[in-house]
Amino acid sequence: MQTTEKTEPKLSELKTRLSEINDIEAAASLLYWDQATYMPPGGAAARGRQLATLQQISHSKFTEPSIGQLLEDLRPLEESLPYDSDEASLIRITRIKYETAVRVPAEFMAKFSMHRTQSYEAWAMARPRNDFALVQPHLEKTLDLSRELANFFPGYEHIADPLIDFADYGMKASFLRSLFAELRLELVPIVEAITSQKPFDDSFLSQFYPEAQQLEFSLKLIEQLGYDFHRGRQDKTHHPFMTNFSIGDVRITTRVYENDLSQALFSTIHEMGHALYEQGINQNYEGTLLAAGTSSGVHESQSRLWENMVGRSIGFWKFFYSQLQSTFPKQLGDVSLDTFYRAINKVGRSLIRTDADEVTYNLHVMIRFDLELQMLEGSLDVKDLPEAWNERYRSDLGIVPESDTDGVLQDVHWYTGQIGGMFQGYTLGNLMSAQFFEAALQSHSEILTEIEQGHCITLHNWLKDKIYQHGCKYTATELIRGVTGANLRIEPFIRYIRQKYGQLYTL
């Protein structure tokens, strides 16, 4: 026990230091939330500077050599404790993040950050003008910088691997490529089968739905699904997101289109899924690095599980549709449950990823993932990107954008410097959501009955117990294996799609 006596004060010092850094990051998150919700335009210039200052202070405090020394001093304690004890996990996860943070020089971060802003500004001009040439030099520079960033982590198998690690730790380009290729092979024929049939009518979703009622209904909905308003709130923003300032304050935002009922409704459930994850983290982790979702993929698995597997299921609407009809009697009074259910699950070949249905969504994502890997490798030149993009849309989705605006310029990600570390999370999330949901149903078949009764207590508790409470104690890979007893695989997702869409269409 001498180890413990010597290391206890060190552990407590580490927690104090991390808590201070966490406070700074919470303040930075609030600066961002405020910028996106309530800040008057005149605050913009100073806000950018304030955000940069707080991020710089937090980074510099986290990368102090004394943190490294503490982590070294704590090795004996870590090794004396079970791998998944809270203490060993805290030390392990902090070390992983510390070792990542110290490898990237502050000057590089500042340079990349400045470039990101310039590149974003070029994109904001280029997209409405359909002018890819405007962003081309910026994207080329982003690729150079991304490779430089990756090279701070030598010894990788693929140059994208270190970039993927930032968001989905431990996932490798080679694994993802073959996983995604398998998935594409399954999905393309399903999409073909569906789109050769008569499309569902969803025109009634585009009637006028007043904002106030949309907001009221969706707030009622997520309260019933388990979102804790004592520890959260919803505000309006241009792009919906989830953010948190502590485990006790996890907020979501939404946007409302008065001529599109599905926008606010499903984005609210989506962000609520992210929020349930963060609200469910063990309170003891407050102020440490463990108090966060474990990866982009696992986070997205929760938003998609709640949005799609729950929120677009027939059982869910068997309960809630009459309430929706009462809220919008003029618009939905004559629309049957079956017609509504089909409309919110309409599958089609479309150009815009963010509007895509569950079946085609991953095809959109995989196109981006493959192309960014090719660009990072150098096997695809930026100047040839628009053509490659259109070619892939033709082969995978059977549709070609008429302009780059609706093609290669549609997503902001690449143009804010996110290359090779972002898109995979969306498809990983979809695959994981199905694998987790299948495991939940195998343990608790009553989940589907409960959904038909308008609540998700068993499902929510199961997710809290298996996933949420652990924060980022386990990597995504460990979590999936631990929770589902198997490695990540495409079968549960394909089974889910075949079953749900097999009932909606002839497959």
Write out the binding residues for Zn(2+): 270, 274, 300
Residue type, 50: Q
Closest CA to 304 of 338, 340, 277, 282: 277
Report the alpha-carbon distance of residue 325 to residue 176 in Å, rounded: 43
> Kind and range of the H or E element at 236?
strand 234-236
Residue selected from 1, 5, 40, 379 as contacting its own copies according to rule CB under 8 A = 40
Residue indicated by tokens 């007043």: 210
The pair of three-digit structure tokens given for residue 31, joined into one six-digit string:
């600066």
Catalytic residue selected from 271, 307, 372, 438: 271
Q: Does 454 bind its own copies (CB under 8 A)?
A: no
Q: Is the dihedral of CA 234, 235, 241, 243 positive or negative?
A: negative
The region of 15-23, 84-92, 340-348, 363-371 touching its own copies under the rule CB under 8 A is 15-23
Beta carbon of residue 246, minimum distance to its own copies (angstroms, whole number): 3
Beta carbon of residue 18, minimum distance to its own copies (angstroms, whole number): 12
DSSP-derived letter for residue 257 is B
Q: Does 43 bind its own copies (CB under 8 A)?
A: yes
Q: Does 49 bind its own copies (CB under 8 A)?
A: yes
Q: Does 212 bind its own copies (CB under 8 A)?
A: no
How many C-beta atoms lie closer than 10 Å to residue 329's C-beta? 10
The region of 19-27, 62-70, 114-122, 329-337 touching its own copies under the rule CB under 8 A is 19-27
Quick note: the x/- pattern for its own copies over 226-245, rule CB under 8 A, is: --xxxxxx-x---------x
- Of the pair 97, 231, the CB lying nearest its own copies is at 231
> Contacts with its own copies in 89-118 (CB under 8 A)?
none
The pair of three-digit structure tokens given for residue 74, joined into one six-digit string:
């704590």
DSSP-derived letter for residue 199 is P
Q: How far is CA 10 from CA 67, 78, 83, in A?
A: 10, 12, 19
271: annotated active-site residue = yes
Q: Does 44 bind its own copies (CB under 8 A)?
A: yes
3-class SS at 371? Answer: helix
Report the alpha-carbon distance of residue 53 to residue 45 in Å, rounded: 13
Quick note: the x/- pattern for its own copies over 399-438, rule CB under 8 A, is: ----------------------------------------
Residue selected from 42, 82, 155, 485 as contacting its own copies according to rule CB under 8 A = 42
- Of the pair 12, 53, the CB lying nearest its own copies is at 53
- C-beta of residue 440 within 8 angstroms of C-beta of residue 462: yes
Residue selected from 38, 83, 152, 208 as contacting its own copies according to rule CB under 8 A = 38
Q: Does 223 bind its own copies (CB under 8 A)?
A: no
How many helices and strands in the chain, by DSSP H and E? 22, 3
> Contacts with its own copies in 284-303 (CB under 8 A)?
286-287
Kindly report the three-state secondary structure assignment for every residue of 295-313.
Answer: CHHHHHHHHHHHHHHHCCC
The pair of three-digit structure tokens given for residue 190, joined into one six-digit string:
């399903």
- Of the pair 43, 348, the CB lying nearest its own copies is at 43
Residues tagged active-site: 271
Q: Would you tell me which residues interact with its own copies (CB under 8 A)?
A: 19-20, 23-24, 26-28, 30-31, 34, 38-47, 49-50, 53-54, 57, 228-233, 235, 245-249, 251, 286-287
